[in-house]
Amino acid sequence: MTTVVAPPRAEAKEPPPPPAEPRHLPRWAWALIVIGVWIVVWAFTKGQDTLTLGAREHTQLQNDLTEFRNAVLASRDTNPFIQFTYQLGEWFKEAVEWCQRMISIPDFPRPVPQIGWLGVTAVAVWIGLAVAGWRIALLVAASFVSFGLFGYWSDSMDLLIVTFVSVSVAVLIGMPLAVLLGTTSRLGNSIINTILDIFQTMPTFVYLLPIVLFFGIGASAAVVCTLIYALPPLIRIAGHGIRSVPSTTIEATDSAGQTSWQRLRKVQLPMARKTIVVGLNQTIMAALSMATIAAYVDGPGLGQPVLQSLFKNDVGGAFVPGMLIVVMAVMLDRTTTAASEASEKAARGRINMRQRRIVLAVAAVPVLVALWMSRFYTWAAAFPENNLGPSVADAVNSFTEWFVDAFGGATEWFKNVITEALINPMQSLLAESPWYVTATAIMALALVLGGLRALMPTVICLIGIYIFGLWHDAMITLTMTMVGTVLVMVMALVFGVWMARRKSVDLLLRPLLDAGQTIPPFVYLIPMLALFGPTRFTAIVAGVIYAAPVAIKLVADGVAGVSSSTVEASRSTGATTWQEITKVQLPMSKGSIVLAANQGLLFMLSMAVIGGMVGAGALGYDVVLGFSRSEEWGKGAAAGITIVLIGIMLDRIARAAANQDPITHNPTRRPWWRSSMG
């Protein structure tokens, strides 16, 4: 018997591991390399080809812009477009003046308005009760009484009128555009978003040069500039709400045979109502924030006394009307929010409508009595005079003087440290390098941080900055913006993380941040002037205070949104508090942090012109000069356009950087130059 021996089976071998891709430097390391090379080149070339333009020198393009302005003014009586814009401005002016005669100024020969303060307050309280409930009615009553008690009744009503007219027109224009944004194709969506991006990156002061040219000054210019600034939030937020209606709901309506108009009216708009109210709320807040800037073109309202106090360096005189603007903003914010919640409750049947109608009917009786009294009794028509406002202003001025005397040395030391350690070196690098070196370095940083998506708009914007002839001033403005953004982000990271990790801190700081976002930017300048004098550092600090609230809230919300299970997992591994923050919470909230930096940049840039009024110089001063002297209009317009180009460039770099994958040592990641090219 033979035995057949089977051949030995070959042992199975594991496939060889795939070759590891070479490690690549992270983006921040490439950025440091670019900056290092830039510094070396700057050391050998500083002061050459900086394209410095004298204070009263002009390029040919700037002279051409001035000639354009002169031609527009000369053709006012013959150009149909100019006639249309002036007629439109006249309609706005007539609407504002009619409302003023009704509630804020004497309607001659009547020595008081048609409806006095008591009647106006009663009607406003009744509206608050009708749309939002008795708590809002009490808030409205307290707010309106405070306008009169502090001596600014007429100015407060004027601001309400300009806000009401502007927001009404914004709704008429914005809602159709929001519907278009929410229902149109991707191409149409991209076009609308690009236009909105330009408006939102444009500093508000830049609007004023063309607005004054085409609409004149006064109430018409105030309404138009407020309208332009307040329109984008409504379009964006309402359009997002309409677009966010679930696709399954849309398909269900299509299967039911509804037309597009029926679908919009019966499904999309009702389901997006809450988001639309948020957009309306933000539009109202934006309109109020324009109060002081509108005053610069002789717009009526509380911005007028704030602006006058700025010229006199009167901190107390600006504090009282500035705080009344905040009171008005809080009142309108809470009213619109509560009205939305009340309508939701009513739609769900959680409110007894019969009882509510009875209460409103009974409450209407004293309102009618107050209206009658305000027409026939002087004390009810004109708010009684008192000294509360001047007393508060004097107290604020006394406190400011004491603070400056007590801490003037510390503030001077802080100013010198920041100036010598941060502002001067960065300005020398940006503004004293040859223009082509700076442009190359900025383009390289854009490519490193955001890829080709950031590089292309950066190239276009840099070409525009060069063409408009204010390169050196643009680099100084960019320096102040970048320094301010660094300070904003330091504050945002410190306070944002603190708020996210401590509920009590959030409850304490968030109302202060909300109030800070509603204070007009001019108000920040006055105490900063008292502390630091008219310097570029004053403008930077005022911009930091203006930009910090939104950045802090974004970081706080981002860190607070990190999953609690992730945080608990890090704690179970023995991570310290510092490791938990730096290794878990901050990396996982990177998107919010980048958005905070983006918004900080844009808010800082929006203060460029206002800073030009207090010694910051550069592009802000050029814009202000264009306002004050007709022969400088072209240079001011070029400076305004240059500010817009800087804003678009920084915005596109920040957005592209946020969309790029972080570069790690993970071999599955592609290097930035490959990912940017697809």
Confidence of residue 670 (pLDDT cuts 50, 70, 90): very low
The single-letter code of the amino acid at 471 is W
Look at residue 200 in the predicted model and tell me its pLDDT. 67
Which tokens go with 339? 């009205």
Percent over 70 (pLDDT), the chain: 87
User: DSSP assignment of 205-221, as one string?
Assistant: HHHHHHHHHHH-SSHHH
The distance in angstroms from the start CA to the end CA of the chain is: 70
pLDDT at 582 over 80: yes
User: Which one has a higher pLDDT value, 162 or 675?
Assistant: 162
Q: 116 near 132, Cβ under 8 Å?
A: no
Rounded CA-CA distance 417/414 in Å is 5
User: Which one has a higher pLDDT value, 565 or 369?
Assistant: 369
Rounded CA-CA distance 456/450 in Å is 10
Q: Mean pLDDT across the chain, nearest whole number?
A: 81
Sign of the alpha-carbon dihedral angle for 72, 74, 76, 78:
negative
Rounded CA-CA distance 71/94 in Å is 27
Look at residue 254 in the predicted model and tell me its pLDDT. 67
Confidence of residue 2 (pLDDT cuts 50, 70, 90): very low
Look at residue 229 in the predicted model and tell me its pLDDT. 82
Look at residue 433 in the predicted model and tell me its pLDDT. 92
Q: Helix (H, G, I), strand (E, B), or coil: what is residue 535?
A: coil
Look at residue 239 in the predicted model and tell me its pLDDT. 81
Q: Which of 19-23, 331-335, 501-505 has the lowest mean pLDDT?
A: 19-23
Q: Which CATH class is domain 387-660?
A: mainly alpha
Look at residue 263 in the predicted model and tell me its pLDDT. 74
Token pair 């009704």 is found at 102
For 125, how many CA atoms within 13 A lie in the half-sphere containing its CB?
23
pLDDT tens digits, 76-105: 778 888 888 888 888 999 999 999 999 988
Look at residue 146 in the predicted model and tell me its pLDDT. 94
Helices (H), 13-79: 27-45, 60-74
DSSP type of residue 631: G
218 φ, ψ (degrees, to nearest 5): 100, -150
Rounded CA-CA distance 143/137 in Å is 10
Look at residue 621 in the predicted model and tell me its pLDDT. 81
Cis peptide before 521 (omega within 30 of 0): no
Percent over 90 (pLDDT), the chain: 17
Give the mean model confidence (pLDDT) for residues 530-543.
Answer: 80
Look at residue 468 in the predicted model and tell me its pLDDT. 93
Look at residue 568 in the predicted model and tell me its pLDDT. 81
Which tokens go with 658? 């946020």
Rounded CA-CA distance 667/678 in Å is 17
Rounded CA-CA distance 29/404 in Å is 43
Rounded CA-CA distance 334/189 in Å is 31
Q: 397 near 7, Cβ under 8 Å?
A: no
Q: Helix (H, G, I), strand (E, B), or coil: what is residue 333?
A: helix
pLDDT at 267 over 80: no
Q: 470 near 622, Cβ under 8 Å?
A: yes
Q: Could you tell me which residues come within 8 angstroms of residue 140 by beta carbon, excluding any fewer than 6 positions away?
A: 124, 125, 127, 128, 331, 335
Look at residue 110 in the predicted model and tell me its pLDDT. 84
Give the mean model confidence (pLDDT) for residues 639-661.
Answer: 81
pLDDT at 3 over 80: no
Look at residue 671 in the predicted model and tell me its pLDDT. 36
R_g (Cα) of the chain, nearest Å: 29
CA distance readout (Å), 449 to 26, 200, 430, 592: 10, 23, 18, 17
Long-range contacts of 306-312 (CB under 8 A, 24+ apart): 306/520, 306/522, 306/523, 307/522, 309/526, 310/522, 310/525, 310/526, 310/613
Look at residue 636 in the predicted model and tell me its pLDDT. 87
User: Which one has a higher pLDDT value, 5 or 656?
Assistant: 656
pLDDT tens digits, 402-427: 888 888 788 888 888 888 888 889 88
Q: 521 near 292, Cβ under 8 Å?
A: yes
Q: Could you tell me which residues come within 8 angstroms of residue 123 by beta carbon, excluding any fewer than 6 positions away?
A: 115, 367, 371
Rounded CA-CA distance 219/201 in Å is 25
Q: 48 near 617, Cβ under 8 Å?
A: no
Give the mean model confidence (pLDDT) for residues 498-503.
Answer: 87
664 φ, ψ (degrees, to nearest 5): -120, -175
Which tokens go with 553? 């809230």
The domains of the chain are located at 387-660
Give the mean model confidence (pLDDT) for residues 475-488.
Answer: 88
Give the mean model confidence (pLDDT) for residues 152-157.
Answer: 92
pLDDT tens digits, 297-313: 888 888 888 888 877 77
Q: Give me the helix-helix angle, 471-501 and 633-659, nearest 10°.
A: 40
Give the mean model confidence (pLDDT) for residues 429-445.
Answer: 93
Which tokens go with 670? 């592609």
Max CA pair span of the chain: 137
Look at residue 666 in the predicted model and tell me its pLDDT. 40
Look at residue 287 in the predicted model and tell me its pLDDT. 83
Task: Select from 120, 68, 121 the least CA-distant residue to 636.
Answer: 68
Task: Select from 204, 217, 208, 212 the least CA-distant residue to 287.
Answer: 204
Confidence of residue 540 (pLDDT cuts 50, 70, 90): confident
Which tokens go with 33? 């390399």
pLDDT at 662 over 50: no
CA distance readout (Å), 516 to 57, 79, 329, 388, 509: 39, 44, 11, 24, 10
Rounded CA-CA distance 379/150 in Å is 16
